[in-house]
Structure 1
């Protein structure tokens, strides 16, 4: 091979490791040449007679790598070296090296786990940790263990922490030292602050062009930032410079033009992370890194993935900077300070940690394995995997036991998210077009919420907003590919088609003026007040911002109730509901026709069973509290004095066991007012057996019987049992009353029921303080008896007759 590259020095070590162990992890810095050199070295060494499959995370990188290797062999692509990507391929019977995008390997494995004719699988740029790469490696490891001990496996990366992968693969690590040329780093003197990213990036690009030679590669998070930065740069760049955007949604021809060397002068390539790996852009000596990356993050509270813009990690920054040292010494200008770099995360999160697991769960089910059965560098979170399985069950892809259905097998064969695959398989002719539209970025940003406008644009109809022509072209091309062999059966209108893909996002407008919706999956959503769809009763939300409290609807389709009933007649059911209403402070009994969380019809349920009402009332009791009346309070105080062997009457235990002791007594109670007047005492006493009631009455009697035979309730809430009664009722009592061996605390009352004395020694009171009380009370209440010796008087509650 001509044009020596750093990777060449370790190629013999790579081949030796494969001969000895059948596996290897190759760590090589950006620009080392691993992508194009390693497959060819394996082919030339003759270590396998089968085809060599190399996985690339992106279509552009896959085609570029295949073309570069074919050029090295002075052949056309499709001879010894070919590629297969979504929508295009160049292979022949003579092809020995196939560069494929990662999903293609998964399909090959699912179709035939033995991988006939394949001798080696190379996972390039494994550090990107896509779901397909993680799953592909796990499946290959199982195949190699059970079916193909001759299958060679290689994991390659520029920035990967190799140890965990090597441990998983039980493979040696080979490291290629250094890049072709050194790259100097230039940081900002002070943070960007509140400046717009595009403005700060454009200024840094102009600075770099004035200080360093060669073409520049500028990393930005997305197409929008690229277009805005391009507009800022155009009036200011030197005349010998050409601007070239590069992002995944571009046509392949435009992508190739961006990565080709400048015919004359200098080129400024404004790229997303698509240019971080595998691609070699000739003439690049300058890298300008805006320090941002866009990733798909799964929001478990909403069950949706959304793109978020985050700071790059140190690994990504290293990968990007390395692009400047591919052909000569270079410079990497970074839109952050050296101090800020220390705060960057080490590595980006693996997609298995942050992405949507629906497709991943479908592939696991098709393989017939649980995640725990396979070897993953980072195992998936079981809770999020359960959520993904719930989505698949909703789409009829899995049965109630989590096993894949025939319909699920059909979905797995389609190169779409399971939601869109379900829509294509159950929908009519327009389903493929809508699937292609929903899988692409919005071609009509700012055109309002209505999805029908986007479909009109794709189908060639005139629209009020001008669509993005390249995006429309891509959608049409993908729609043609998806439509091959599609059935004509099924709905064709946009609303029903969207509902097939998103049965959990059918929205019913809430009562009130604001356009707020409850979604069939239970979440809330809101439309802009000014949007023409704000008045719709039913919608299907196909794009939401992921807010866990109330998501903003970015795209939606209209849906009629007739269409909803036609699609989901088997899932629309009448439910009888008895539930406590906090707002109304009462039990509401309703008959509701529901689709998921949507209430399509709501009527009163006048003959609701008493037991259902009582059960719902328990929720009211949990909200309102027990609130016992004084007799019940005294009973609880007595019961709580008993030992640990006695039934538990604590508030916490009573609330925990409401169904056991209170439910049988709630007949007829359904409002907060009725509960306030409810006599709790019979229900509390019913918790005790007859023997336990007798024990309670002996140990802590409810009443003190006065000498006149009157029952006075004993209060056990204080430090000592206590009663209150008229002083005259205790005349003649010479021993202080006791309960369970304790003296009663007696509050002696005047004839007007006012406290006169509190005592726990009645004989002592008669002998001492009574004389003073008698002197004071006799003048106030002359008609009531005040004998000099109360111990010899008869108890009484009567007053003297007038005149005596």
Structure 2
């Protein structure tokens, strides 16, 4: 079909985006990238792709990314309607498990994961001229990855490829700068919206009831359709039930009223009913998730009820686990929601939070890449051919800790090697449109064998994958038994009565189609289920630590089942779903028993554990069979490599060395202080550093020479503490240096009695200390010196009872003055001892000398 920009803008003249269509086409003639901002309802998503296409040559295509499946379908249908065609002709869409395109299709509306796979399969995007990223303000990790890969392709192999970023609200300046792109803004048409705030903040657990009562109040007061924003399916279903049973609505309304839920898991038919315009004389209430914030246009909405909450996937890099969390929305999301009430006329928005609490809300939502599980992104990057995810041209750099955790997981699954390059099994994992864990489980069935193996384990893996991806239908009543849920799913398939299992059954069927396997509705064996789960979650293989539901995971974390849960009777489990908060014991949601005998070498590793055990105070040498950090068996190693044992002891010295050897012995301290003192006096001697800190850090340089004796290596604290550490340290000095140290800093000084008194080289003291009894110094005229007579020692003169009585570095002055006062006190305290009036002429004594 041939059409011009004027044809489209004339047909859609009421849409504000029609005013910028020519500017957009002109900008794309001269720039490789373009940023467009327009408020909700301006027509940017439906009008601009058509006007851009009209400026392209024959056969050139546009890919347009949408963050949600529902939006992709509706936008493709609306564009086809503008052209007077059906979906799949000029305009088509491709979303997960659903495709409506043909050879004639020139605009393909995709969800982000589809584009990523296209880039992995063909980085050139052959035949594609322009890639449009719509609703980019949501900053999902998939859109960030798709943009990074597209920019990489544009920079390296497709310089002619154009990139268009479109959004309602966005940090346009930052993106324009990163892409070196101009900005085109559409004014839009927005009617005033009257805001109402709650008198008090609402507990998230009560939000469905509060939203229902506010909706009833708004329905009575205002005209037009009502759009209610709630965080998730559970709250929507509860609110729907309350409104459907509300007498003020069902019995007093003058209009025909319909109430519609709107969320991602709803069937396409019900989704279309929710967004279809109301017939004349009818009103409707749509209760929606954030899916209705921007991409989806619901005609006739005059009233918005905003709960102020949304679901967010939160990934904890410390535990490697993700979980959905209900969180407060940001102000940009609140503005988007409010705008839905002012598209056709003056509107009203009820915010179910107080004006005061609004000041605590973030201005903008965080890019998902900052908090999400990065494993799928890292795998897609590797499949694209880039081993270093951080090398891509990101708008927001992925957190380094998250990338590290992702690489750890992918290596445990065998998807990438230690250099980050994708492996053959990794390529097969990346080809499946699911999390790498789930893909690994499906692919593992090729070689799966158990004592209770069914004929079709691939079909079972597909059922498990579908159950884990969708909301648990038995979350309230089924305990943690995953096998119970699989049996229930298969029972409903046998009967042909799917009910709440319909969505799960559909996804399982898609997985079977991709895996080329048939449906199997026999009841599965629990241990077979457990083995499949173990392939997806190898770090969540768990072993019981007691009989009341406590388990330790292969990752080392601890988790808990309710003691009454039947699964707690099993010693070994494979855990498919759990929540773990930092520093707390995790809670198990879904698990299946596992027989450790079924685990092959992929899980069970035999390692030689030769390491220092601080608690035992020795080198442990044993051959262990382990599943992660879970021990299966152990036996001692008697032929360990001696050099390896020595190296381990030396390495342990860095951490535990203070307790491994006798560093506190006086002889050790004395030799260290003497050497340190001489090194301080004579730096030109370049004596080695023999401080404890330095020796511990360099143990590998000196300790190995003393560890082996009689063909056996000393490997315990008990043996190490028997080593003569003072002698070892002294021998670190060359012989000439030893001689110099002995001369400059002798260990002892001889006093007049002939006693050899030890010199104390104290850390931090200005002079070495000689502690000696006063009576042994009679006749000593001058203070002894060290360092070739340059430095007098500090004499600590002691009483006969070895109590200090005087400190002096000038012994001659002491004899002439202070001695006589000290003598008086000593004569009183020690009357049996000899205290001469002339100490320089008196005989020095060691003990008692009669007067």
User: Which residue does 2:267 correspond to in 1?
Assistant: 251
Aligned pairs (5 A) from 1:20-39:
20-21=30-31, 23-39=33-49
In structure 2, the CA distance between the partners of 1:210 and 1:652, relative to structure 1 (3 Å rule), is farther
Task: Evaluate the alpha carbon distance shift between residue 449 and residue 117 of structure 1 in structure 2; reply closer, same or farther with a 3 A threshold.
Answer: same
Q: How far does the alpha carbon of each residue in 1:250-295 deviate from its partner, in whole angstroms, 9 at most, with x for none? A: 2222222222234554222111111112212232111111111212
- 1:672–1:397 distance in 2 versus 1, CA, 3 Å: closer
Alignment correspondent of 1:732: 779
Give runs of aligned pairs for residues 181-260 of structure 1, distance below 5 A.
Answer: 181-192=191-202, 196-236=206-246, 237-239=248-250, 240=253, 241-260=257-276
Q: Summarize the Cα distance change of 1:245–1:755 in structure 2 as closer, same or farther, 3 Å threshold.
A: same
Rounded Cα–Cα distance in structure 2 between residues aligned with 1:128 and 1:29: 14
Give the structure 1 partner of residue 581 of structure 2.
547
| Shift in CA distance, 399/782, structure 1 to aligned 2, threshold 3 Å | closer
Which residue does the alignment assign to 1:331?
348
Deviation at 1:517, TM superposition (A): 3.1
Change (3 A) 1:799 1:121: closer
2:740 aligns to what? 695
1:413 matched residue in structure 2: 431
Tell me which residue corresponds to 1:597: 629
1:746 to 766, 787, 795: 795
- Give the match for residue 4 of structure 2: none
In structure 2, what is the Cα distance between the partners aligned to 1:639 and 1:137?
64
| CA deviation map 1:585-634 (0-9, x unaligned) | 56555443222222111345577656367347624325679641122222
Selected match of 2:534 from 478, 487, 499: 499
- 474, 477, 487: which one aligns with 1:444: 474
Q: Aligned equivalents of 2:704 and 2:548: distance in 1?
A: 41
Task: Flag the 1:781–1:122 CA change in 2: closer, same or farther, 3 A.
Answer: closer
Once residues 648 and 22 of structure 2 are traced to their aligned partners in structure 1, the CA distance between those partners, rounded to angstroms, is: 79
Q: Hey, what's the Cα distance between the residues in 2 that align with 1:471 and 1:360? A: 31
Q: Structure 2 CA distance, aligned partners of 1:622 and 1:254?
A: 72
2:193–2:339: 8 Å Cα contact kept in structure 1? yes
Number of aligned residues: 793
Q: Residues 126 and 772 (structure 1 numbering): CA distance in 2 closer, same or farther, change over 3 Å? A: closer
User: For the Cα contact (< 8 Å) 1:614–1:666, is it kept in 2?
Assistant: no
Paired residues for 1:271-420 under 5 Å: 271-369=288-386, 370-371=388-389, 373-420=391-438
CA distance in 1, matches of 2:534, 2:638: 34
1:620 touches 1:672 (CA, 8 Å); kept in 2?
no
Moved more, 522-531 or 56-65: 522-531
Is the counterpart of residue 534 in structure 1 residue 568 in structure 2?
Answer: yes
1:19 to 29, 32, 51: 29
Contact 2:193 2:342 in 1 (8 A): yes
Pair 1:535–1:660, CA change in 2 (3 A): farther
Matched with 2:770 is 723
Deviates more, 1:774-783 or 1:127-136: 774-783
Query: What is the Cα deviation at residue 177 of structure 1?
Result: 0.5
Alignment CA distance shift 1:507-1:701 (3 Å) = same
Query: Does structure 1 residue 106 correspond to structure 2 residue 116?
Result: yes
Pairing 1:791–2:791 present = no
Alpha carbons of structure 1 residues 691 and 214: separation in structure 2 relative to 1, 3 Å: same
After superposition, the Cα gap between the structure-2 partners of 1:230 and 1:623, relative to the gap in structure 1 and judged at 3 Å, is farther
Deviation at 1:744, TM superposition (A): 2.9
Find out whether 1:483 has 2:512 as its counterpart: yes
Structure 1 residue 94 displacement after superposition: 3.0
Residue 498 of structure 1, CA deviation: 0.9
Match of 1:456 in 2: 487
Cα deviation, residue 397, structure 1 = 1.8
Q: What is the Cα deviation at residue 339 of structure 1?
A: 4.1
Deviating more after overlay: 776-785 vs 436-445: 776-785
Structure 2 unaligned blocks of 5 or more: 1-10, 446-456, 519-524
Partner SS, residue 362 of structure 2: coil
**Aligned mates of 2:153, 2:782 — CA distance in 1:** 94
Question: How far off is 1:385 after superposition?
Answer: 2.2
Q: Is the contact between residue 296 and residue 355 of structure 1 (CA under 8 Å) also seen in structure 2?
A: yes
Closer, same or farther: CA 748–129 of 1 in aligned 2, 3 Å: closer
**How has the CA–CA distance of structure 1 residues 104 and 764 changed in structure 2, closer, same or farther, with 3 Å as cutoff?**
closer
Distance in 2 separating the partners of 1:254 and 1:49: 35
SS at match of 1:138: helix
Relative to structure 1, the CA distance from residue 800 to residue 501 in structure 2 (aligned partners, 3 Å threshold; closer, same or farther) is: same
Per the alignment, residue 712 of structure 1 pairs with 757
Comparing 197-206 with 99-108, which one deviates more in the overlay?
Answer: 197-206
Give 1:515-534 correspondences, 5 Å limit.
515-534=549-568
C-alpha separation between the residues in 2 aligned to 1:780 and 1:620? Answer: 49
CA distance, structure 1, for counterparts of residue 721 and residue 144 of structure 2 = 61
Post-superposition offset of 1:562: 0.5
Classify 1:789/1:235 alpha carbon distance in 2 versus 1 (closer, same or farther; 3 Å): same
Q: Tell me the distance in 1 between the aligned counterparts of 2:337 and 2:578.
A: 32
Match of 2:610 among 577, 582, 587: 577
1:28 deviation in Å? 0.7
RMSD of the TM alignment (CA)? 3.3
Deviation at 1:322, TM superposition (A): 1.9
Superposition TM-score, scaled by structure 1 size: 0.90
- The separation in 1 between residues aligned to 2:656 and 2:761, in whole angstroms, is 29
Offset at residue 134 of structure 1 (A): 2.3
Alpha carbons 1:502, 1:542 under 8 Å: kept:
yes
Question: Compared with structure 1, are the counterparts of its residues 401 and 334 closer, same or farther at alpha carbon in structure 2 (3 Å cutoff)?
Answer: same
C-alpha deviation, 1:573, in angstroms: 0.8
- Which stretch shifts more, 699-708 or 782-791? 782-791
- Asked if residue 629 in structure 1 is aligned to residue 633 in structure 2, the reply is no
**What's the offset of the Cα at 1:62?**
1.1
Q: Does 1:660 align with 2:696?
A: no
Q: Following the alignment from structure 1 to structure 2, what is the Cα–Cα distance between the partners of residues 748 and 143? A: 86
Separation in structure 1 between the aligned mates of residue 512 and residue 601 of structure 2, nearest angstrom: 22
State the Cα distance separating 1:724 from its structure 2 match.
2.8
In 2, distance between residues paired with 1:18 and 1:563? 60
